[in-house]
Amino acid sequence: MNKKTRSLKRVLISILIPVLILSQAACSGKTEADGEFKPRLSTETECSIKVAGNYSNFESLESEFERFYEFYPNVTLNYVNLDDYESTIASALMSDEAPDIFVTGSWMLNDEKKKPVLEKAEVLSDPSLDIDLDCIRKGARWSLENGDVIMLPVFTRSYGMLVNMDIFEKNGLEVPTDYESFIDVCEKLKAAGYEHPIMGANGTTVSGMYYAFGFPLFCDNVLKNPGSVDALNALDSSQGEMMRPALEKLKTFVDAGYLDPKACSDEIEDDYNAVIMRFFEGDVPMMLGSGDTVSGTLKRESKSEAFSAAPFKYRFFVVPTGDDGGYFLDAVNLFFSVNKNSTNLDMTNEFIRFLTSEKELGNMAAIKRLITPTNDFSLDEVYSSLEGFPEDRYFSYQETRLNDNVNKEFRAAAYKVANGIMTVDEAVSAYGSLWE
């Protein structure tokens, strides 16, 4: 099934690809032409703007505050971490001290309970606001059915692997670009004495290794079979077959000893800190994980004695499980929405307008070390492999229209197959009841 057919059926995506391509060109062109941000309000304006979110600490945003102060020195921007964000944000938006900007997530779109929250969100695609939404990468764009954009993607994440470039260089190897070379590289690495060429957290979370290894391949399969989506979402056990290609490749890797779940369990206690610290030991050629894993690397470089003693170069790559290469599954990590009832709406919009540029979003992503929602990956070298990624292997999670249950079922299936709890066949037939 071709891409055009698929796109017709997408519910949330209303922006057409030709327009996308054009606007992408326009985006980059505009960025270059416009260059710097130009204030539209009086730079003397005095007001206070509050951003509410669930991060306990938001240094990358505070860095943007400082940059914004260069234009509006009398504006005060504040970030507030709300306890129990998911439940308190709705109340907060209704209170006297409602935030001007609040963090939103794609999951809110499907959650009835979050309707009151999203109802408060201003339509950012309103042309009068002059917010340059075109600079956002295709896969990171989310809009309402009517085409209105109420959420500005700030960070995105993907799933793949951290590659120790020095090991590859030392052994004269290229980072694999397709399934065949992936097998080949693993074989060579094993031969070179790397007992476990690939490692990761042996768990069922999205940061676990099976999600990064197999889920993008599964999504590709689903996108190629859009008819299966509804049944998959309904946890119809007959749709378990859709998982087979991914599960089989996973099984192959485990059987070949390229990936050892037991060793991973023994050596990697959690799916975040331990993964990074194990990778920094310097003897793991490929470490599976998510963009969140990558975001934790920078701060931990200095915390790892091994890495401090023998630093090495590392990069993020998607896992090349497809015959033609890996899949770039684009998922937005965090959105900003504007409280349309904000008492300082003009300045709030001005801040969003300021933030919505390759430069500022890139800057924030680079500080957080997450993936920028724009096409400019130049600000953080670790994500350089995503620059100019082929269109046919690039998609966003929302394109799959899969709900969270499917996601969980796949993770459980992969975990069980890899750890020998189930065979591939058993897992396929148990679809719908795999998540415990």
Partner 1 sequence: MKRALIIAVDLVIMGLILFFIIQYANTKMHESNKSMIEAFEKMTTSAEQVITNYLEDEQHLCDIWSNYINRTAEAGNPMTAEEAIAFIRKAKISPSIYGHLIFPDDPSVSGISTHPAMKDSNDYSVSYRKISLFDDLDKIGHEDGGVSLTRAYTNPQNGVQSIAFMNYVTVLDENTGDLKKALLMRVEPVSMLEDKLVFLKGEYESVEISLINKDGDYLVHGKSLKNSNFFEYYKSYNNADIADYNKMIDSVTSGSGTMNMLNSKGEDCVISYTPLRSLDTWFLLAYIPAADLSTNTVVDWLLLGMVTVGLLILLVFNFAVLMVYNKKLSEAAEAANQANEAKSYFLSTMSHDIRTPMNAILGLNEMVLRDCHDEEIVAYSESIRTAGKTLLGLINDILDFSKIEAGKMDIINVDYNFVSLLNDLVNMVQGKAADKGLKLNLDIDRNIPMILNGDEIRIKQIITNILSNAVKYTKEGSITFKAGFERIEGDKDSVKLCISVSDTGIGIKKEDLDRLFVAFERIEEKKNRNIEGTGLGMSIAQSFLAMMGSHMKVESEYGKGSTFSFTLVQGVRDWNPIGNYEETFKRAISERQTYRERFTAPHARLLVVDDTPVNLSVFQSLLKRTKVQIDTAGSGDEGIVLYKQKHYDVIFLDHMMPDKDGIETLKEMKIITDSPNSETPIICLTANAISGIREMYINAGFDDYITKPIDPDRLETLLLQYIPKGKIAPPSDDEEDDYFIPDFIFKIDALDVNSGLIHCGSREAYMATLKMYLEAAPRNAEEIERYWSVRDIKNTTIKVHALKSTSRVIGALKLGDFAAQLEKAGDSGDTETLEKELGELLSQYRELAEELEPLSDIKSNEESDTRPLITEEDMKEAYTAILEFCASYDFDSVVNVVESLDDYRFPEEEATRFEAVKKAVDNFDYDMIPGIISGERDNGQ
What is the β-pairing status of strands 101-104 and 159-164? unpaired
Q: Of 73-92, which residues contact partner 1 (CB under 8 A)? A: 76-78, 80-85, 87-92
The β-bridge relationship of strands 394-396 and 314-317 is unpaired
User: Which is nearer to partner 1, 59 or 174 (by Cβ)?
Assistant: 59
Instruction: Scan for tokens 């999205």, then name that residue.
Output: 206
Q: Please, what's the b/e burial string for 374-405 (b: 16 or more CB within 10 A of its CB; e: otherwise)?
A: bbbbebbebbebbeebeeebbbbbbbbbbeee
**Angle at Cα 42 formed by Cα 37 and Cα 45, nearest 5°?**
110
Among the residue ranges 56-64, 187-195, 206-214, 418-426, the one whose residues contact partner 1 (CB under 8 A): 56-64
Residue 308 binds partner 1 (CB under 8 A):
no
- The 88-127 contact track toward partner 1, x by CB under 8 A, reads xxxxxxxxxxx-----------------x-----------
Phi, psi (5° rounding) for residue 143?
-145, 165
If the CB atoms of residues 50 and 138 are measured against partner 1, the closer one turns out to be: 50
Please report the DSSP string for 43-82 in residue order: TT--EEEEEEES-S--HHHHHHHHHHHTT-TTEEEEEEE-
- Is 62 an interacting residue with respect to partner 1 (CB under 8 A)? yes
Candidates 57, 128, 146, 302: give the one binding partner 1 (CB under 8 A): 57
Q: How far is CA 168 from CA 19, 286, 385, in A?
A: 40, 10, 15
Q: Which is nearer to partner 1, 88 or 181 (CB)?
A: 88
CB of 55 to partner 1, least distance (A): 9
Q: Which amino acid is at 369?
A: R
Of 99 and 160, CB closest to partner 1: 99
Amino acid at 320: P
CB neighbour class for 42 (10 Å; exposed up to 12, middle 13-18, buried from 19): exposed
Choice between 67 and 393, CB closer to partner 1: 67
Q: Which is nearer to partner 1, 63 or 181 (CB)?
A: 63
CB of 78 to partner 1, least distance (A): 7
Least distance between partner 1 and beta carbon 164 (Å): 28
Q: Considering just the CA atoms, what is the radius of gyration of the chain in Å?
A: 22
Residues contacting partner 1: total by CB under 8 A: 29
Q: Shortest CA distance to 159 belongs to which of 258, 246, 53?
A: 246
Using CB under 8 A as the binding rule, whether residue 265 contacts partner 1 is answered as no
Q: How far is the CB of 232 from partner 1 (least distance, A)?
A: 31
In angstroms, give the least distance from the CB of 157 to partner 1: 22
CB of 89 to partner 1, least distance (A): 6
* Binding-site ranges for partner 1 (CB under 8 A): 56-57, 59, 62-63, 65-66, 76-78, 80-85, 87-98, 116
